[in-house]
Amino acid sequence: MIRTFETHKIRKTAELSSALWNFHTIGTQGEEAVIQAPVPGCWENYPDTVSYRGQASYSREFEAKGNIRLEFKGVSHTASVLVDGKPVGSHYNAYTPFDVVLKDIRPGIHQLEVIADNSFGPDSALHVPNDYQSYGGISRGVVLEELGEAYLSWIHFTPFLRKDGWYGKAEICVRNLSSGRLDGSVEVEIGKNSFAVLPIVLEGEEEKSFSTEELPCPWAECWSPESPVLYLITAVLRTADGAADDIIDRVGFREIRTEGKDILLNGRKLRIKGFCRHEDHPQFGCALPFSAMQHDLMLIKDLGANSIRTVHYPNDELFLDLCDEQGILVWEENHARGLSEENMRNPHFKQQCGDCIREMITAHYNHPSIYIWGILNECASDTEYGRECYSEQYELIKSLDPYRPRSSASCRFKTDICLGYPEVVSYNIYPKWYHDVPVEDYLDELYQWIQNESEGTGKPFLITEIGAGAIYGYRTPAHVKWSEEYQVQALKEQLQAVFSREGCSGVYIWQFCDVRVCDSWFGSRPRTMNNKGIVDEYRRPKLAYEVVKDSYRSLGNYF
């Protein structure tokens, strides 16, 4: 399953995932035995490769002819793609989609092979040993598409709330695969409403985007957590021979902006009641199936939350579809966590971060649930070189999407020098866990510094991580750390202080569920897990579940 709705009616597509592929590792001693493995999947969930780090091959046959497009939603974390034994593409980063377009392939059966590599090394600036697991495999869906002489690469839609109602603007990217000039048009429809017709002209092998004007949408209804109204947006490419291609996505009419210290959704002051959530499950690794994604959302909604932070990477688009449908606000961020200045000086860092941002925003632009773009969680925002990196990445986001707020979760207590760039100031704090001080005092000292001594003064303020660890089932009247009782005690004080803090727009609890971490983190992480989940890795509720539920459910989505 790729999306929760059909994305083409004219263009012929076939899902190559949701199937068994041939799998074998590629080691220093040669190739291992071939087994049948599910795609999507992570090889850490296969019997013989539970701790394997290195290269492995996935392969299967497909039938096609002419021009085709192979889209990969996620391969962890480096991919090399071969068709009929010849290299045709490559990609770095597990969490963003990429494609390979092949022209004029012969009719018949072809062999597709993907060599995935989850090893660490100097060529990988973002996938490093970290406080979460970096899995291996084809972890998200794979699609085969048949193309004509030209096709629609993507469509982006931006809604605008004006005094007299909703307006919208569409931008469509078209690619000409032929060597000749292309004259045609693109018709855009939203729901059952005609929106615009754009004339297009492309030279041979040219790719170009075309934009509509800002046009009224008097029939539009708002998307909100209470009423997540969605519309299909359809673009059809027409040439002299008729309808040549189409692309279908889904949009919602909602406006996100900041005003003073407030984050506004459709003009209303938003209160965030959220969870940080990793894509991680003991049975599936990071390749959660549709039913497991929805189960997580059912628990999150039962807890009274209205938002999810996708730590620390872009999420599977299927999960974002579910958030769109159920009115869950999403903070989505690029892939970088806890990197020092030395890490950020890796010669591949800027390019790999930039690619991740471009691929994330291009693919996920239309999701109304995404209300903020985040970057560089807990990186070197207290150094001059870090400041340069933050500035460049914030500018890149603005060039790709000037309409959503930007932020980054900082842990640099009273030393961050990058707070002048984002629209929203965000901090990860752990009083009562890493710092044995009263939460209210810790929070007040930080907030006063932000407002009086930093470049973040006068901006909206979010707590993007707070919490305490607990081992599921460890209970003791002593209420010591790692007990469920201590987690309850800490969260009560933390949530009370955050929601009482004037000027704070909300909180993301770290975290929704316990998750596996890289083996090198075993010393500070019992079970080689991050154990701060409100539920454990199997989604069994800890004692803190009811505490969080009572707190979140007692508050509305707005102030």
DSSP letters, 239-269, are ETTEEEEEEEEEE-B--EEEETTEEEETTEE
Rg (CA), the chain: 24
Kindly indicate the confidence band of residue 27, based on its pLDDT and cuts at 50, 70 and 90: confident
In Å, how far from its chain's centre is CA 527? Answer: 27
Pairwise CA distance, residues 45 & 51, whole Å: 9
Burial label for 289, CB within 10 Å (0-12, 13-18, 19+), is: middle
Supply φ then ψ for residue 481, to 5 degrees: -60, 145
**CB under 8 Å to 448, separation ≥6 — which residues?**
none
Domain residue spans of the chain? 13-143, 150-251, 268-553
In Å, how far from its chain's centre is CA 528? Answer: 24
DSSP helix/strand/coil, 289 = coil
DSSP letters, 458-473, are TS-EEEEE----B-TT
Look at the block and give the residue holding tokens 């961020």.
Answer: 333
CATH 1.10.490.10 fits 268-553, yes or no: no
DSSP helix/strand/coil, 34 = coil
Q: Which CATH number fits domain 150-251: 3.10.20.90, 3.40.50.970, 2.60.40.10, 2.40.30.10?
A: 2.60.40.10
Mean pLDDT of the chain: 97
Position 165 scores a pLDDT of 97
The length of the chain is: 559
Kindly indicate the confidence band of residue 522, based on its pLDDT and cuts at 50, 70 and 90: confident
For residue range 343-380, list pLDDT tens digits in order.
999 999 999 999 999 999 999 999 999 999 999 999 99
Position 299 scores a pLDDT of 98
The binding site for alpha-D-galacturonate consists of: 131, 312, 337, 377, 434, 465, 525, 530, 532
Mean pLDDT of 514-530: 93
Burial label for 1, CB within 10 Å (0-12, 13-18, 19+), is: middle
The two three-digit tokens of residue 310, written as one number: 């996708």
For residue 335, whether the previous peptide bond is cis, meaning omega lies within 30 degrees of 0, is no
For residue range 125-171, list pLDDT tens digits in order.
999 999 999 999 999 999 999 999 999 999 999 999 999 999 999 99
DSSP helix/strand/coil, 294 = helix
For residue 511, whether the previous peptide bond is cis, meaning omega lies within 30 degrees of 0, is yes
Position 29 scores a pLDDT of 60
DSSP helix/strand/coil, 177 = coil
Kindly indicate the confidence band of residue 326, based on its pLDDT and cuts at 50, 70 and 90: very high
489-505: b (≥16 Cβ within 10 Å) or e = bbbbebbebbbebeebb
Kindly indicate the confidence band of residue 30, based on its pLDDT and cuts at 50, 70 and 90: low
For residue range 439-460, list pLDDT tens digits in order.
999 999 999 999 999 999 999 9
Q: Are 169 and 212 within 8 A, CB to CB?
A: yes
Supply φ then ψ for residue 305, to 5 degrees: -75, 155
Position 28 scores a pLDDT of 59
Give how far Cα 310 sits from Cα of 340, 373, 406, 491, Å.
21, 10, 14, 21
The binding site consists of: 131, 312, 337, 377, 434, 465, 525, 530, 532
Query: At the top level of CATH, which class does the domain 13-143 belong to?
Result: mainly beta
3-state secondary structure 59-124: EEEEEEEEEEEEEECCEECEEEEEECCEEEEEEECCCCCEEEEEEEEEEEEEEEEEEEECCCCCCC
Kindly indicate the confidence band of residue 68, based on its pLDDT and cuts at 50, 70 and 90: very high
**CB under 8 Å to 529, separation ≥6 — which residues?**
514, 515, 516, 517, 537
For residue range 71-117, list pLDDT tens digits in order.
999 999 999 999 999 999 999 999 999 999 999 999 999 999 999 99
Smallest CA-to-CA distance from 22 within 41, 42, 37, 39 is with: 37
Which helix (H) or strand (E) covers residue 174, if one does?
strand 165-176
